[in-house]
Amino acid sequence: MTELSTTSPTQTALYTINNPESVIEVFLDAEAGTVREVKCLNHNRCKEYTYSVAEYLDRYSHHPAGMAVKAALEA
């Protein structure tokens, strides 16, 4: 997992998780083999994390976000 500080406003999120204290948007770049999560907390605090597809599916395949990534790759 790599923490980054840049965002790409032109890409549409593949999956969005709305938690009481945060919003997490999941982006897939199938060509590069990466999954990017943008986590925004209260008071406009945001962090960006990049995973390889294999690492993301290993961690989150049971979660709806992981299932959405897997479905997008199979499409």
Residue 75: predicted pLDDT: 86
Mean pLDDT of 41-67: 94
Q: State how far the Cα of 40 lies from the Cα of 74, in Å rounded to an integer.
A: 28
d(CA 70, CA 74): 6
> What average pLDDT does the segment 43-64 reach?
95
Q: Kindly tell me if the per-residue pLDDT of 3 is higher than 80.
A: no
Phi first, then psi: give them for residue 64, nearest 5 degrees: -55, -35
What's the whole-number average pLDDT of the chain? 88
Q: Report pTM.
A: 0.81
Q: Is the pLDDT of residue 9 over 60?
A: no
Q: Are 66 and 56 in contact (CB under 8 A)?
A: yes
What is the mean predicted confidence (pLDDT) over 40-58?
94
